[in-house]
Structure 1
């Protein structure tokens, strides 16, 4: 079932392709940033840095 998009077919197809490309780029960016953040957190944990929120109220005194 092929639909005729009329005289604006090239604009419509190009717009959808551009939107799909932007979505793919954003997904890739998020994946790369997640890997980078996870690596940085592992390095911090390995070096002994701890989260302040990990302490209990008794330890803060």
Structure 2
């Protein structure tokens, strides 16, 4: 069910593809950063408890 994009099909599909790649990259970077911060927080709390 692809709409007729005419002579601009390549440009439109390239833009959609680039957008999808960027969104996936941003989600992955956010997830990775969150995991890193969570590990750092757990380590800091462990150190604080052990004095």
- Determine which structure has greater relative contact order: mean sequence separation of CA pairs < 8 Å that are 6+ residues apart, divided by chain length: 2
Q: Please state which structure has a larger fraction of its residues in helix.
A: 2
TM-score after normalising by structure 2: 0.89
Alignment gaps of 5+ in structure 2: none
Alignment gaps of 5+ in structure 1: 50-61
- Determine which structure has more spread, i.e. the larger CA radius of gyration: 1
TM-score after normalising by structure 1: 0.75
Cα RMSD, aligned residues only: 1.2
Aligned residues: 49
Point out 4+ residue stretches in structure 1 off by more than 3 angstroms. none
